[in-house]
Amino acid sequence: MRSAVLYNFLLEANLMASLAIVLMIVLRASLRRPLGNGALSFGWLLVALRLLLPLSLPNPIIYSIRTSNMPDAAIRPIAGQIQVRLRDMFEGLSMRGQDGSLVGNAATSLREGMFDASLPITLSKIYLVGVVLVLAWFVIINLRFRRQLKADRIEPLTGKLLEDYRALCQTLKVKPLSVYLIDPLPSACLVGVFRPHIALPLTVAPKDVMHVLRHEIGHYQNRDHLYGVLRLLCCALHWFNPLVWLAAHLSYTDSELRTDERVTASLPDPDKEAYANVLVLSAARHSAPGLAVLATGMTQTHRKLKARVLGVLKGKKPLRLMSITFVLLSSMLLVGAFATSEAVLNPRLTRLSPAPKGQQITSDQQALSFARELLRRDELGLRPRSDLHWELIDNRVSPGEYIIAANLPDENRALHSVSFDERGRLLFLANHDSSWEEGYASAPDFLTQVQTDQLAQDVLSWLRMMNPEEAIGITNWVSDRGRTGDDIYINFHFMDEDARFMYGEVPVVSVSVQVTPVTRIIRVNFRPNPLDGNG
């Protein structure tokens, strides 16, 4: 795995997931009752998916945050912004610490290392070592726990308790899991991932056994033995993020509350009180399986136990509409959280209008009509407004040339302008309906060379159709890129066969093409002024 790929995944996943974790903390503190523990558990599942899946969906507006000074094009915009912001922060610290202080020297070293090719490799190695150590810790703890359970196993469930258990499973419509009596064992737990079974303390009172088993079956129905694996994977892959560990801890608590909610949903009030008493009796035990162990447990701290007992005795059903709304909105947010890569562009001028009919323009009225016809061409992507004031400019650059301006009503500026000769050959065209001429900034390479070549050939074919005499000798071209806001542009400068594009040399024609959100020609200038910055 390349360091840039790993960097993209870790930065994007932790940024998006951390925001989601903070939101989940707020929701569980303020809207637990109307949302319900099931909806909150679903929210934690979405957080885990964002942390674990290395997906990056195309986002058509992500170009607007890409920095133009990233040395590695494989680094996506969000990760690039974080890297640049960190570098700028360290640069500010180093400037304030130019007196040779320890902080200033450290900041200078960090700033210089931000774009050092060896730093990402070193950080990747440190990260992978951390992942291996955390995973090894989890494996050792779980192997030790399973070995201890096997050593302390007394016997499987038998007799009347086994019959009652099978009847309970039949009532709950679930396949009976194996149940083993263990001594010592502080709390009943659901153990295992692929072949889960229930470990039951030998000391549980017979009258409480069915409530305990009902609780563990609830964990099985909620797939908590699988969600436990997701928690450990999240903590292992993102071991450096304390919010991830906090989220794992909170989601574990919410899984217990969700199970209580499931178990007591169909119980009458006396049975709810008996179930709550079982929870209270379990409070004296503090050595139940922890977060790192792939097993559930009824034992929790007194503070959490109070919330569980109150939820059992006074719990109200969540608001169904609010829960459904939360599920839908959170799912949409998850899709948005994955939309971190630039959309794959394939800009082509495929919708070309037919070549303009050959005609001799002999009057101003013909010139105005021809200008309206030109501006309605598909490749320009324009729909000229009906309230425009079309004006023929008197001061023609050369004999036989018509210059038409389409002005906005009550405004002293042109929305579109076009010029052509008396034979209808295009000489100049400009669309001023966007702010692309203002605040224009350079943009990084967003097209491959093949894509740029294809678009250049499309433009050249269009030029030969619009003015074949001027475009006939064009063979060479260069391009530069820019953007304003979310809109991205590419400027082509076409030249004769023998021309070399140098500063001050005049190309045959310059064409500006808007690439996003739609591909269209927005400016054409045959024999442009070489000092004109945009062609």
Tens of pLDDT, residue by residue over 332-352, are 999 988 887 766 566 777 777
Type of residue numbered 513: V
Q: How far is 301 from 436, CA to CA, in rounded Å?
A: 61
Q: What is the per-residue pLDDT for 493?
A: 87
SS3 letters for 196-256? Answer: CEEEEECCCCHHHHHHHHHHHHHHHHCCHHHHHHHHHHHHHHCCCCHHHHHHHHHHHHHHH
pTM for the structure as a whole: 0.66
- Choice among 5-19, 307-321, 468-482 with the minimum mean pLDDT: 307-321
Cα–Cα distances in Å, from 419 out to 354, 410, 466? 19, 23, 12
What 3-state class would DSSP assign to 107?
A: helix
pLDDT at 168 over 50: yes
Inter-residue contact 173 to 141 (CB < 8 Å): no
For 453-481, how does the pLDDT look when each residue is reduced to its tens digit (9 = 90+)?
888 888 888 888 888 887 777 778 888 87
Domains of the chain by residue range: 3-131+322-342, 145-299, 364-526
Residue range 395-432, pLDDT digits in tens = 555 677 888 888 877 767 778 888 888 888 888 888 87
Distance CA 95, CA 52 (A): 39
pLDDT for the residue 420: 87
How is residue 289 written in tokens?
């399986």
Per-residue pLDDT for 287 more than 60? no
Q: Which of 2-6, 81-85, 179-183, 531-535 has the lowest mean pLDDT?
A: 531-535
Query: Residue 77's pLDDT is what?
Result: 55
Of the candidates 480, 483, 476, 431, the residue with the CA atom closest to the CA atom of residue 457: 476
Task: Provide φ and ψ at 388, rounded to 5°.
Answer: -70, 150
Tell me the residue length of the chain: 535
